[in-house]
Amino acid sequence: MSTEDQQSHPASLPAVAAVKPKYEFFKVVQHYLDEASQLIELPPYINTILQQPKNEIIVNFPVRMDDGSIRLFKGYRIQHNNLLGPFKGGIRYHETVTLDDIKALAAMMTWKCALMNLPLGGGKGGIKFNPNEVSRSELQRITRRFFHALGANIGPETDIPAPDVGTDAKTMAWAMDTYMNTVGQFFKQAVKGVVTGKPVASGGTYGREKATGQGLVHCITEWAEERDFDLGGATLTVQGFGNVGSNAAVILSKLGVSTIAVGDHTGYLYNPEGFNPHKLQDYVKKHRSIAGYPNGKAISREEFFRIKADIFIPAALENQIGPEEAAALQVRLVGEGANGPCSPEGERILLERGIDILPDVLANSGGVTVSYYEWVQNKRSETWTLEEVDTRLEKAMKRAYREVIEMARQKSCTLRLAAYAVALQRIASAYGEREIFP
C-alpha cells in the first residue's frame, strides 16, 4: 500500500477490504432439496439420505512435471446416490475445485438422472488445478495418475465419469485407456463404458460432444413455442465458450439466433453484428480461450451483464448471477447451461423482474442423457447413427420439459423446484418399493 493510500484511511478503520463471504454451493443444493421435499411431502428419511453423498473419495497422488519436479495433486470423487443405477457424473479440472462444490454437483447429477428417467445415479469428481497452466503431456500424466488412484472405485457397472469444466473427449480417452490397462488384457474391451464422452473412434458416441448444448436448445425451442416467441432474429449472450456454451451458440445460429456477446475466464467480447459461432468455436479449440479473437470489442464483465439481448446462456461456473448481475441483465430468458449459475438471491431477482429461467437440472441434462446412450452402445457393442442419437435426445428432452412444466403448474412453484420435485418423486418410488437394507 502506498503512503498516500495509508494516509487516506483514518487510523481507526481496518485497512483491508471487506472479504466477500464464500458461496456455499452445497448448502444451496441442500436447501433446494429441502424445499422440493416439502412440496411433494417426501418421506423425511429419504430427504435425510439424500442430504449427504454416499461416498466421499479423496486421493493424493504425485505427478512428474516436465521440469523433473514432483507435484502432489488432490483429487476428489463424490458418489452421491446409486439407488437407480451406477454413479454417473463429470470430472472437473479447475483451480477453484473444492470438496463441497463437488458434493453439490454430484447431488445435482442424482436429480438429473432421475428427471431424465435414466438407470443411473449421481457422482462428480475433480482436481483443484489450472489445466491451462500445464503442458499436454503433464495433463496426460495428471489424468492417468488420478484414474489410477481412483482404481476400483470407478467402473462401468459402478461409477462412470465423463467430461466437465477443463476436461474433454481427449481426457476421457486417457482415462479409459488407464482403466483398461489396470483390469488385464482379457477384460479390456468389456470396460470401454468406464467413462463416457470419449472420442468416437475410442468408443464414444456420435452427438455426445454437442449433447448438452443440443439439449439446452431443445428446452429453449420449447420455451419459445410456449411463449410464442420467434427465435429467428433473436439475440444471445453467452458466458463460457467451452463445450456447452459454444455448441449451444452454434446450434442456435442455425435457428437464426445471433450471438452478440461472449465471455470466458480471459474476458468478454461484444459484436452487435453477431459473431460467427463456428469460427469462434474453432478459434477457442485452437487457442483455449476467446482472448485475441479479432472480430469483437473487448468489454468488462459489468458491461457484458448489461447488454440487451433476448437470451442469456451462462455456461461457465456456479454463482455467476448474484443480485447485481440479476438486476443488470436485460434479457427475456436465462438458459442454464452451467450448473448452479444463479445464486438463490439472483434467481429471486430475475423471476421478480419477469425473466424466465430454464433451470440447470433440466436444461443441461442432455449431456448425461447422451452419455447414457454411449454407455448402452458400449454394453451392446453397437454404434448408433447421429440421427438415432439426436431423435432420442429430442424426445427425452421434450418429455422432461413437459413434466417439469406440469409439476410447476400443479405446485405453483419455480421450474427449478419442479425439476427437483419430478426427480425426487422417482427416487422416492424406488425407496418406497425397496425400503432400507437390512
Residues forming the active site: 124
Please pick, from the candidates 239, 259, 281, 369, the single residue that binds ligand NAD as defined by CB under 6 A. 239
Please pick, from the candidates 42, 172, 309, 315, the single residue that binds ligand NAD as defined by CB under 6 A. 315
253, 311 in Cβ contact below 8 A? no
Could you tell me which of 266, 265, 262, 255 has the C-alpha nearest to residue 279? 262
Grid cell 482436481 in the structure block, residue: 127
Check binding of 325 to ligand NAD (CB under 6 A): no
C-alpha cell at 365: 441434462
Check binding of 319 to ligand NAD (CB under 6 A): no
Pick 122 or 240: Cβ nearer ligand NAD: 240
**Could you give the 3-state DSSP secondary structure of residue 412?**
coil
Please pick, from the candidates 29, 309, 316, 413, the single residue that binds ligand NAD as defined by CB under 6 A. 316
CB of 426 to ligand NAD, least distance (A): 19
Check binding of 304 to ligand NAD (CB under 6 A): no
CB of 280 to ligand NAD, least distance (A): 11
d(CA 87, CA 106): 9
Taking the C-alpha atoms of 144, 149, 154 and 160 in order, what is their torsion angle to the nearest 10 degrees? -40
Please pick, from the candidates 73, 76, 241, 304, the single residue that binds ligand NAD as defined by CB under 6 A. 241
Pick 156 or 337: Cβ nearer ligand NAD: 337
Check binding of 317 to ligand NAD (CB under 6 A): yes
Pick 85 or 161: Cβ nearer ligand NAD: 161
Check binding of 163 to ligand NAD (CB under 6 A): yes
Please pick, from the candidates 75, 86, 89, 263, the single residue that binds ligand NAD as defined by CB under 6 A. 263
CB of 135 to ligand NAD, least distance (A): 18
Q: Which amino acid is at 114?
A: A
Restricting to residues 57-116, name those near ligand NAD by CB under 6 A.
Answer: none
Pick 40 or 213: Cβ nearer ligand NAD: 213
Please pick, from the candidates 367, 389, 400, 419, the single residue that binds ligand NAD as defined by CB under 6 A. 367
Q: Which stretch binds ligand NAD (CB under 6 A): 49-57, 235-243, 275-283, 372-380?
A: 235-243
Pick 37 or 339: Cβ nearer ligand NAD: 339
Q: Return the beta strands (E) in 82-158 as ranges.
A: 87-94, 122-128
Check binding of 339 to ligand NAD (CB under 6 A): yes
Which residues lie across from 259 on neighbouring strands? 236
160, 184 in Cβ contact below 8 A? no
Q: Which stretch binds ligand NAD (CB under 6 A): 55-63, 145-153, 262-270, 274-282?
A: 262-270
- Spell out, one character per residue from 199 to 218, where the chain touches ligand NAD: x when CB under 6 A holds, - when not: -------------x------
CB of 127 to ligand NAD, least distance (A): 13
**Could you give the 3-state DSSP secondary structure of residue 309?**
coil
d(CA 126, CA 162): 11
Q: Which stretch binds ligand NAD (CB under 6 A): 19-27, 38-46, 250-258, 312-320?
A: 312-320
Please pick, from the candidates 86, 203, 335, 337, the single residue that binds ligand NAD as defined by CB under 6 A. 337
Pick 39 or 244: Cβ nearer ligand NAD: 244
User: Which residues have C-beta within 8 Å of that of residue 137, sequence separation ≥ 6?
Assistant: 66
How buried is residue 205: exposed, middle or buried, by Cβ count under 10 Å (0-12/13-18/19+)?
Answer: buried
Check binding of 265 to ligand NAD (CB under 6 A): yes
Check binding of 377 to ligand NAD (CB under 6 A): no
Pick 103 or 265: Cβ nearer ligand NAD: 265
d(CA 316, CA 303): 17
DSSP string, 330-358: B-SEEE--SSS-B-HHHHHHHHHTT-EEE
Pick 130 or 182: Cβ nearer ligand NAD: 130
Grid cell 473444492 in the structure block, residue: 98
Pick 244 or 427: Cβ nearer ligand NAD: 244
Asked whether the CA dihedral 306, 310, 314, 318 is positive or negative, the reply is positive
Check binding of 259 to ligand NAD (CB under 6 A): no
d(CA 100, CA 126): 11
Phi and psi (nearest 5°) for 198?
-75, 165
d(CA 334, CA 347): 10
Chain residue whose CB lies nearest ligand NAD: 242
d(CA 184, CA 186): 6
User: Which residues have C-beta within 8 Å of that of residue 166, sequence separation ≥ 6?
Assistant: 92, 93, 94, 131
Stated as kind and residue range, the H or E segment containing 178 is helix 169-183
List of residues contacting ligand NAD (CB under 6 A): 163-166, 212, 239-245, 263-265, 289, 315-317, 337-339, 364, 367
